[in-house]
Amino acid sequence: MRPVHFRGPCRPSMARVSDIVDAAKRLIVGRPVRSDRLGHTLLPKRIALPVFASDALSSVAYAPDEILLTLAIAGLGATAISPWVGLAVVAVLVVVVTSYRQNVHAYPSGGGDYEVVTTNLGPKAGLTVASALLVDYVLTVAVSVSSGAQYASVAIPALRGHEVTFALSIVAILMLMNLRGVKESGTLFAIPTYLFMIAVLTTIVVGAIRAGTGTLPLAETAQFTIKPEESFFEDGVETGLTGLAGAFLILRAFASGSAALTGVEAISNGVPAFRKPKSRNAATTLAMLGALSITFMMSILLLARAAQVHYVEFPATNLLLDGVPVGDSYEQHPVLGQLATAVFSGFTPAVVVVSIVTGLILVLAANTAFNGFPVLGSILARDGFLPRQLHTRGDRLAYSNGIVALAGGAAILIVAFDAQVTRLIQLYIVGVFVSFTFSQFGMVKHWNRHLRTEPDPDARKRMKRSRVINSVGLVMTGLVLIVVLVTKFTRGAWIAILAMAIVYVAMLGVRRHYDRVRDETALDDADAAKALPSRVHAIVLLSRLHKPTMRALAYARATRPSRLEAVTVAVDPEDVAELRRQWDELDIPVTLTVLDSPFREITRPVLGYVKSIRRESPRDLVVVYIPEYVVGHWWEQILHNQSALRLKTRLLFSPGVVVASVPWQLDSAVAEARTSKSEPVTARDAQVVLRNETPQA
């Protein structure tokens, strides 16, 4: 049997299709990257900031909106306290950022909250955090892209009504860019992220100057009054924020504004992507992220108050002009968009730039999840809680399967919730505060454990300081989690909690399966002794005598089994008689066994015969050789090999049985090989094309 190396096209049509797909993949994703080039894909801080901080930074485009929108339920006067609600959110943000700076130094491997909690609180608690983070990452993509789609529909009226299609297209683009590798996608996305920072800072500085000099115009919605919901009226009088309902509303506004904290945990999960020194660079990036988020959020809330920005959930009915609702014809712009219009009044290009870069950052915020989800998925797969395919890197050194899985999950949510941010935001931030709270508790236990064995006074002092920071973080994030659950549960948070429970149970099921497979396949001394069967019983299945049959017989004899026989099923008596005649005439030195089949079945008699051999000699290995045609066209596959396919499928579930397919290339396959235009087949292709030469039986 000699290998034939064809020049030019030498593979069947299915192989040509595979070549086309591979060429398209290389065009879109890029050439494969060697494993020893992993260090060149690591990120400097200037690239890591936009990669990991775009989610948190983008929250300034909708967190102030959510605070104002929630407070507006109580009427116009309620929006005046928005800066105070923002300050409460900022206090939590400062504590969380400071706490996570401890995390990245203590656990730099990239496991983030999952590793912290698993190490200190146990595997089940770690799995709870992992399920929360996985769900939150999917929601991050769905919320960010949907929000970007809404901004785009404002800027481009033709997109109105097509937000779902636009959002799905953006998810696909983000997926493809991340499949090219973290560094490549980060470099590409860094420019719009920095443009957003510059645009917002410019808006803040110019707005502050104009507010200080008394030249800041009022926002476009300042002319409207806000109609409070019926629950905030008592005997026809607006009650505003007084009473229990008002307190609950403030808590709801705080919970909605806490969306500004999403994305902080992504840096602790992405420490391995930083250049050395990894922990220090990650901690510095965290500090930069915190400073920018606090500056942006508080400045926008203060400017919104100065410009009298009004923002409501249902503008058609809740915005009143001279006591009359504005109606469906009015298009309400986001808070940042209203501020840009007021701050840059008379200079339209600046307003357009702010709108464009804001829409871009909202879309790119999803890129944070595309960096965090695959890394966490890889670690969970390594620990046996997710399919192992998620653990390995693709040919571009990115976790390709995790990237595709995240894109698929986000696409499902976008379609299910019609790309509506208001509906999706209610599911948001529950998971991230679950991970925050568990992580802080885990870090407190981490410092307690190390303090018991640390003799150095200076080290103990640093540990005690870190423990205080994490303890404060535990209290604050725990309180926020309670507030979020209480205020958002009936408004959609229960869906996120249910999704976390489903993911948790699914991961436990995956782990149980892998554990069961490991136990079943583990070797012991007895198994080592049974590694080789006592005998090999070879069976060649045939229906008539022809070249493929003779090749299968030759191959079976070449393996020198303990016993070899040819087996056919008596479906047609005339065919069996003709087969016996040819068998005797050719004097083939192999026993021919004919199996009865009164119901003209093929699969059942063969399975019964194989099982009878196994019953007689349980330690024997049965090898079944099945001749198969190799065809050149897809439609020819329908005309051949159907019986062989059914037999192989059933035999695979038979213990102690090995199935060997013996290929025979038909002329159509050979002709396809000769007319193909692919490269010569080499050992690198891991394919060997054999001549249709049948060795002597």
For 569-609, the three-class secondary structure string (H helix, E strand, C coil) is EECCHHHHHHHHHHHHHHCCCCEEEEEECCCCCCHHHHHHH
Quick check: 651 and 610 in contact, CB under 8 A?
yes
Selection from 63, 128, 57 nearest residue 425 by Cα: 63
Selection from 275, 111, 258 nearest residue 119 by Cα: 111
560 and 477 in a single domain? The answer is no
For 187, counting Cβ atoms within 10 Å of its Cβ (0-12 exposed, 13-18 middle, 19+ buried), the class is middle
498 and 556 in a single domain? The answer is no
566 and 423 in a single domain? The answer is no
Domain of residue 169, residue span: 39-511
Copy the structure tokens of residue 593: 């066994």
Residue 128 within any structural domain of the chain: yes
495 and 569 in a single domain? The answer is no
- Backbone φ/ψ region at 665: left (φ over 0), alpha (ψ -120 to 50), beta: beta
Residue 11 within any structural domain of the chain: no
CATH number for 191: 1.20.1740.10
152 and 87 in a single domain? The answer is yes
546 and 614 in a single domain? The answer is yes
Copy the structure tokens of residue 359: 């829409």
Axis crossing angle, helix 63-71 with helix 278-306, rounded to the nearest 10: 40
pLDDT band at 205 (very low <50, low <70, confident <90, very high): very high
Q: What pLDDT shows up at residue 507? A: 94
Q: What pLDDT shows up at residue 38? A: 47
Q: Where are the alpha helices (DSSP H) in 425-572?
A: 430-451, 457-488, 493-521, 525-529, 547-558
608 and 497 in a single domain? The answer is no
Is 183's pLDDT higher than 90?
Answer: no
Is 86's pLDDT higher than 60?
Answer: yes
Is 240's pLDDT higher than 80?
Answer: no
Residue 658 within any structural domain of the chain: yes
Copy the structure tokens of residue 140: 């991050």
Domain count, the chain: 2
Residue 14 within any structural domain of the chain: no
**What mean pLDDT value characterizes the chain?**
78
pLDDT band at 596 (very low <50, low <70, confident <90, very high): confident
Mean pLDDT for the stretch of residues 371-387: 87
Residue 625 within any structural domain of the chain: yes
**φ and ψ at 530, to 5 degrees?**
-95, 10
506 and 552 in a single domain? The answer is no
211 and 270 in a single domain? The answer is yes
621 and 474 in a single domain? The answer is no
Residue 274 within any structural domain of the chain: yes
C-alpha 635/C-alpha 53 separation (Å) is 52
Residue predicted with more confidence, 586 or 252: 586
Please say which residue of 511, 543, 570 terminates a domain. 511
CATH number for 646: 3.40.50
Residue 3 within any structural domain of the chain: no
Q: Considering only 9-13, 291-295, 341-345, 389-393, which range has the smallest mean pLDDT?
A: 9-13
Angle (nearest 5°) at CA 623 between 619 and 626: 160
Residue 544: CB atoms within 10 A of its CB come to 12
359 and 457 in a single domain? The answer is yes
562 and 507 in a single domain? The answer is no
pLDDT band at 457 (very low <50, low <70, confident <90, very high): confident
C-alpha 96/C-alpha 469 separation (Å) is 9
Three-class secondary structure of residue 274 per DSSP: strand
Mean pLDDT for the stretch of residues 560-585: 89
C-alpha 434/C-alpha 446 separation (Å) is 18
Mean pLDDT for the stretch of residues 384-403: 78
Residue 646 within any structural domain of the chain: yes
State which amino acid sits at residue 620.
D
